[in-house]
């Protein structure tokens, strides 16, 4: 069985890092450490001066119109944000609060999995290592689809471990529930099929676990749970499938070495440079020897994802966070290796580095409105002064009786919908082509019959391609919105009336 040598293999090596505790002691220590870090992250969200970034604002708008699907993602993120809004409020901190909570719960699951496979000490260190990973610290400051995905992925991993260990129909049912629910969080949950298949190829126990109708039951449950999203996509012309295909972006010459290097570099950053190096080295050794079935299981739930996305990065591109599902299992694997080899110094250096990163990520957003890097770096600049941008639009609306607001980009549409949620004037997205290219072009496209005059707002001037569709266009004075100290965001606006372009 998977854990048949856990105490023998790891009992002595565990003693190399800190005094030994009982299983209950490790469980309480895990709970205490995770609780302290969660409290810090929730307080940091409350103190943050960072506005919702575009994706977060978009997810929030989804949460105001609950459905079984949305343009680019399944519905779970909208459901999660709506639940937090109903219990906490509509602030940025409330919108984001589910993220650190879910990552904390994920870390708790990793303790349970680590204890099941190896020992309570391994579970403790796996939980602490994971919750302080640079990628997790960064993700905990935002609300994204990865938060519910990683929690449900780790839950699925636990049920798979238990199914392989006990070969029970009950765990097959639970596996199907976790898998199907995870598919409602993000498309990346489909990697579970690849991971389970890889494990079944190399493990007799895994193959036995799938027999007796257990694989069929788990699969049917997963499909049943995911089917509402399938029906939603079919009804709306498969927008999520088309968006996923566009994201893959395979194109000639199908060799993009710089994209590959960027993806690999991102993995060192997200998992930590020391841990990722340990992962690579130990994985090569484990693949060659396959001496420990527990490590083999964990690698089957991490390596196939990393290899697949490395190929994707070479063929086109792959964002660093696309590999997020590889790291729950990889964290337990690396933790077990470090404990087994007694690499106390290496673990201490890695933990110290990650704790510093976690502290900076938690504290820095509180100074976003006074810290100059937030206006110097493009990815940080996009996270501030959206409330002031919305105030500028609100002021223009107060100066004349406009019938609607027209926006030409997805990011500005999402930000205005959140920060102008108290404004009654309807907001529409300009649709350049017949087929929608983002959620707002699908759900709130500008069409004939919209009340006029229309206020067009843009960060890129009043586009001629839009204004020529109207009989009259009156440019308004651009508004300069200060960011931190030196840079500004320019908001362009013009009044339009006499729409003559038709619906396309």
pLDDT tens across 418-432, in order? 999 999 999 999 998
294, part of any domain: yes
- Greater confidence, 42 or 486? 42
360 & 425 share domain:
no
Least confident segment among 226-235, 378-387, 447-456: 378-387
Asked whether 148 and 102 are in contact (CB, 8 A), the reply is yes
**Residue 104 counted as domain residue:** yes
Provide mean pLDDT across the span 233-244: 88
Q: Nearest 5 degrees, angle CA 447-CA 478-CA 370?
A: 110
Q: Does residue 378 surpass a pLDDT of 90?
A: no
Predicted pLDDT at 252:
66
Query: Do 337 and 398 fall into the same domain?
Result: no
Q: Is the pLDDT of residue 16 over 50?
A: no
Residue 290 and residue 401 in one domain: no
Among 49, 52, 98, CA closest to 365: 49
How far is CA 224 from each of CA 71, 219, 221, 229, rounded to the nearest angstrom? 21, 9, 5, 10
Q: What is the pLDDT of residue 182?
A: 98
Residues ≥6 apart with Cβ < 8 Å to 120: 21, 22, 23, 25, 26, 27, 111, 114
* Contact between residue 126 and residue 111 where contact means Cβ atoms under 8 Å apart: yes
Specify the pLDDT at position 15: 41
How far apart are the C-alpha atoms of 251 and 261, rounded to whole Å? 18
Q: Quick check: is 6 in a domain?
A: no
Give the pLDDT confidence score for residue 17 in this predicted structure.
54
Residue 340 and residue 414 share a domain:
no
Which has more pLDDT, 381 or 5?
381
The pLDDT of residue 7 is 38
On whether residue 231 sits in a domain, the answer given is yes
**pLDDT class of 26 with cuts at 50, 70, 90:** very high
Confidence of residue 36 (pLDDT cuts 50, 70, 90): very high
Over residues 474-490, mean pLDDT: 92
Give the single-character DSSP code of 79: H
Mean pLDDT taken over the chain = 92
Flag whether pLDDT at 85 surpasses 60.
yes
> What per-residue confidence (pLDDT) applies to 380?
84
Q: Is the pLDDT of residue 33 over 60?
A: yes
Domain residue limits at 425: 386-499
Residue 9 within a domain: no
Confidence of residue 379 (pLDDT cuts 50, 70, 90): confident
Residues in the chain: 504
Instruction: Say if residue 278 is in the same domain as residue 161.
Output: yes
Query: Could you give the C-alpha distances from 420 to 386, 391, 424, 439, 493, in angstroms and in order?
Result: 10, 8, 9, 18, 16
Indicate whether 275 and 409 sit together in one domain. no
Contacts of 42 (CB under 8 A, 6+ apart): 93, 97, 100, 101
| 2 falls within a domain | no
265 assigned to some structural domain = yes
pLDDT at 251: 64
pLDDT at 5 over 50: no
Do 467 and 319 lie in one domain? The reply is no
Q: What share of the chain is helix, strand, coil (3-state, %, to 5)?
A: 65, 5, 30
Identify the pLDDT of residue 317.
83
Same domain flag for 348 and 434: no
Shared domain for 361 and 420, answered yes or no, is: no
Same domain membership, residue 152 and residue 300: yes
Does the pLDDT value for residue 273 go beyond 90?
A: yes
Q: In this predicted structure, what is the pLDDT of residue 365? A: 94
Whether the pLDDT of residue 64 is over 50: the answer is yes
Residue 1 located in a structural domain: no
């Amino acid at each position: 069985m998977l854990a048949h040598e856990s105490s023998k293999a790891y009992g002595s090596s565990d003693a190399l890092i800190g005094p030994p505790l009982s299983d209950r002691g490790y469980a309480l220590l895990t709970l205490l450490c995770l609780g302290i870090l969660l409290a810090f992250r929730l307080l940091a969200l409350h103190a943050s001066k960072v506005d919702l970034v575009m994706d977060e604002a978009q997810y929030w708008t989804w949460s105001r119109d609950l459905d079984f699907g949305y343009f680019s993602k399944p519905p779970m993120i909208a459901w999660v944000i709506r639940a937090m809004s109903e219990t906490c409020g509509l602030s940025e901190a409330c919108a984001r609060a589910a993220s650190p909570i879910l990552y904390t719960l994920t870390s708790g699951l990793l303790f349970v999995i680590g204890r099941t496979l190896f020992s309570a000490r391994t579970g403790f260190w796996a939980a602490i290592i994971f919750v302080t990973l640079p990628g997790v610290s960064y993700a905990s400051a935002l609300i994204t689809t990865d938060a519910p995905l990683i929690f449900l992925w780790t839950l699925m991993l636990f049920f798979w471990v238990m199914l392989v260990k006990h070969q029970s129909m009950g765990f097959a049912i639970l596996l199907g529930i976790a898998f199907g629910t995870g598919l409602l969080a993000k498309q990346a949950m489909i990697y579970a099929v690849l991971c389970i298949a890889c494990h079944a190829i190399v493990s007799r126990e895994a193959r036995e676990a799938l027999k007796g109708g257990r694989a069929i039951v788990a699969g049917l449950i997963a499909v049943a749970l995911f089917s509402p999203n399938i029906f939603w996509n079919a009804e709306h012309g498969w927008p999520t499938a088309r968006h996923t295909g566009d994201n893959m972006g395979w194109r000639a010459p199908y060799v993009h070495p710089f994209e590959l290097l960027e993806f690999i570099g991102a993995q060192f950053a997200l998992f930590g440079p020391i841990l990722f190096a340990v992962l690579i080295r130990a994985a090569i050794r484990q693949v060659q020897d396959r001496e420990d079935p527990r490590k083999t299981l964990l690698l089957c739930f991490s390596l196939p994802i990393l290899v697949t996305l490395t190929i994707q990065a070479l063929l086109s591109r792959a964002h660093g966070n696309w590999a997020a599902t590889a790291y729950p299992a990889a964290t337990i694997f690396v933790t077990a290796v470090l404990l087994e080899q007694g690499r106390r110094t290496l673990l201490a250096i890695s933990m110290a580095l990650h704790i510093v990163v976690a502290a900076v990520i938690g504290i820095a957003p509180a100074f976003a409105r006074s810290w100059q890097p937030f206006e110097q770096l493009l990815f940080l600049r996009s996270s501030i002064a959206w409330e002031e941008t919305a105030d500028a639009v609100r002021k223009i609306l107060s100066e004349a009786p406009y019938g609607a607001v027209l926006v030409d980009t997805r990011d500005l549409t999402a930000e205005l919908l959140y920060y102008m949620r108290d404004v009654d004037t309807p907001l529409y997205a300009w649709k350049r082509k017949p087929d929608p290219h983002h959620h707002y072009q699908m759900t709130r496209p500008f069409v004939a019959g919209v009340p006029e005059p229309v206020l067009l707002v843009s960060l890129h001037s009043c586009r001629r391609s839009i204004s020529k569709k109207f009989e009259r266009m009156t440019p308004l004075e651009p508004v300069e919105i200060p960011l931190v100290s030196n840079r500004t965001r320019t908001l362009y606006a013009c009044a339009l009336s006499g729409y003559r372009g038709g619906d396309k």
